[in-house]
Amino acid sequence: MGIPIIRTVAELRSIVAVWRRDGLKVAVVPTMGALHEGHLSLVRAGLAKADRVIVTLFVNPKQFNSPADLIAYPRTEYDDAAKLAPLGAHILYAPDAADIYPQGFATTVSVSGVSAGLCGTFRPGHFDGVATVVTKLFLETGADMGFFGEKDFQQLHVVRRLVGDLDIPIKIVACPTVREGDGLAMSSRNARLSAPERRAAPRLAEILFETARRLNCEDCIDRVLDEARQAILAAGFSQVEYLELRTGEDLAVIAIPNRPARLLVAAWLGQTRLIDNAEVWSRGSVQGFVQAAAAA
Ligand code: AMP
């Protein structure tokens, strides 16, 4: 049997109200569709913790800072529904933009601090768009738990912050990044890579993890990061937007990884912008590397 596709908030609320009356725990997995194993890992995690899982599919125009990127974003609702049904997800909530942002919509949820820097610098307005739609999806679904990928590490922090600040009664659960067999972090945007770009793309993760391992020194950080930027360019990427060390807990800038930290990167390969991140510990160990095969 297929997964029910719900288009309106009224319909969604009436279904969730029945679940709530029955005392069921509800999870939400927000996505923009073009589902891959990374998304499906969140759905599985949701199914393991909650009684009902709502997957949302909304290509949110407010979080695209480039109109061309919005137009080019893959839209594969039929295939997405077919991938979700066998997992046992309960609802695919796929509202129209006109329902999410009706005429006269004038509210923006803006999270300062963790939204600044990294993707916030290179994608102006992006996190306002994310925060606004995620807030709406939390309020519309009334979910007890929300599942997010560490792949979008800064987004995860933005969501945690807004939930805390606005007292939204939802628990945010972070799930590790799922990767292709060659290490490339899965992303809906990977489909846009040409064959030669796809061959070059895994170098980003390789360099990221290698660099994270090399950051266990106090006086070499700048040099190691610089060498990594050069290596990414040498691998065929045209631009490194950022390669930065931050604290894992609150994304604060740190000069040396003297506490649990993350190394975050964004780089352009042809017309495609790829992001990734790796955990860095002061003792130099690196975690968070989950192969697609292990998650399947
Ligand atoms: P998106 O459809 O790109 O907006 O992503 C929806 C959710 O899936 C977000 O919480 C992402 O962090 C998560 N996600 C995307 N790619 C991956 C991945 N490779 N591994 C784990 N989670 C992912």
pLDDT of the residue at 31? 98
Residue type, 4: P
Q: What is the residue with the minimal CA distance to atom 14 of ligand 1?
A: 149
Q: What is the reported pLDDT for 288?
A: 37
Name the residue at shortest CA distance from atom 5 of ligand 1.
31
Active-site choice (36, 39, 90, 157): 39
Nearest CA to ligand 1 atom 17: 38
> How far apart, in whole angstroms, are the C-alpha atoms of residue 84 and residue 77?
11
What atom in ligand 1 is closest to the CA of residue 187?
16
Ligand 1 centroid from CA 149, angstroms: 5
Q: Considering the entire predicted model, what is its pTM? A: 0.94
Task: State pLDDT tens for residues 67-124.
Answer: 999 999 999 999 999 999 999 999 999 999 999 999 999 999 999 999 999 999 999 9
Ligand 1 centre and the CA of 41: distance in Å? 9
2: which DSSP letter?
P
- Report pLDDT for 218: 75
Per the DSSP assignment, residues forming a β-bridge with 52 are 26
Distance 166 CA to ligand 1 centre (A): 23
Q: Which of 127, 158, 112, 108 is nearest to 63 (CA)?
A: 127
Cα 51 to Cα 33: distance, rounded to the nearest angstrom: 22
Please, what is the angle between helix 153-165 and helix 126-141, to 10°? 60
243 Cβ neighbours under 8 A, 6+ residues apart: 211, 225, 228, 229, 232, 263, 264, 265, 267
Token pair, residue 121, equals: 């610098």
Centre of ligand 1 from the C-alpha of residue 37, in Å: 9
Mean pLDDT of the chain: 94
Cα 218 to ligand 1 centre (Å): 33
What pLDDT does 75 receive? 94
Tell me, what amino acid is at 272? T
- Asked if 147 and 27 count as a contact pair (C-beta separation under 8 A), the reply is yes
Q: What per-residue confidence (pLDDT) applies to 216?
A: 78
User: What is the number of the ligand 1 atom nearest to the C-alpha of 178?
Assistant: 20
Q: What angle do CA 150, 131, 23 make, to 5 degrees?
A: 80
Q: Is-catalytic flag, 39? A: yes
**Ligand 1 binding pocket, CB closer than 6 Å:** 31-32, 38-39, 41-42, 148-149, 151-152, 175, 177-178, 185-188
Q: What are the chain's domains?
A: 5-175 (3.40.50.620), 188-295 (3.30.1300.10)
Q: Are 129 and 60 in contact (CB under 8 A)?
A: yes
Pocket-testing residue among 75, 152, 187, 204, ligand 1, by greatest number of atoms within 8 A of Cβ: 152
Dist. CA 186 → ligand 1 center (Å):
8
Q: What is the full per-residue pLDDT of the chain (296 aa) written as tens digits?
A: 799 999 999 999 999 999 999 999 999 999 999 999 999 999 999 999 999 999 999 999 999 989 999 999 999 999 999 999 999 999 999 999 999 999 999 999 999 999 999 999 999 999 999 999 999 999 999 999 999 999 999 999 999 999 999 999 999 999 999 999 999 999 999 999 999 999 999 999 999 999 999 997 778 899 999 999 999 999 999 999 999 999 999 999 998 888 899 999 999 999 999 999 999 976 544 443 333 334 43
Task: Supply the residue whose CA is at minimum distance from atom 22 of ligand 1.
Answer: 149
Give the per-residue pLDDT at 282: 60
H-run or E-run covering 54: strand 52-57
Angle at 136 between CA 168 and CA 20, to 5 degrees: 60
DSSP 163: H
Candidates 37, 42, 77: which one to mutate for ligand 1, based on the most atoms within 8 Å of Cβ? 42
